[in-house]
Structure 1
Amino acid sequence: MPSCLNMCLEWWCYEILVLLTGRLSNPKRMVAIITIVFNFDYLLFSAMLSLATAASLRVSNELGAGRGMAARAAAYVSISMGSLGGLISAAAMAGARGWWGGVWCSAKTGES
């Protein structure tokens, strides 16, 4: 239940931010920009959520089998992979800042 509530609050915060962005000057542009950023964020979030789920399952299986050192190693690997994934995601988001908007606009208008 707490995990579900946490996920709901996170998604609701995104929606509230979109609504509040509509109150800024030039609201169409601002909402479009924040929507593009959030879509890119959702793409990265789904990969990190998959990694977290797999790591949780692996660590819990090792602990259930009574292999504490293997669970510790699996936890270290998952933290390392999560950190690496976060750095790669940040670099991808920063690197695609000029490209992603053009892809989004082409997909929405049907242009190539």
Structure 2
Amino acid sequence: KFQEFIDFYNNRFHEGIGETPNERFQRALEEGKTRFSSLPEDVNLDDIFCLIERRCLKKDNTFSYDGTTYNLTRNRRSITRKAKVELHIHPKKKIRAFYKDEFVQEFS
């Protein structure tokens, strides 16, 4: 229902702006009068809209989060013992692990 309302509103003539909101937005894009831009293909929104925590790896390439132990099985040779990893956390969904700003592994 909400999406139906949004579609209706954005495609309905608006007297205050003299056109539909979609027409105004499209014109602003064409005239370069907006800050909106396309998201680069290499950007993953999961790595922007997440919680971030850092953990030190144990000697066996494991780390703990929220009472659960995780084992990094990918790219093990490039990760030093006791390295610090950055976790991109989506509570109750997944954890994405990074080492030196490079994606290492995802846990679901």
> Which structure's residues are more often strand, by fraction?
2
Q: TM-score, normalised by structure 2?
A: 0.26
Asked which structure has the greater CA Rg, the reply is: 2
Q: TM-score, normalised by structure 1?
A: 0.25
Higher relative contact order (CA 8 A, sep 6+): 1
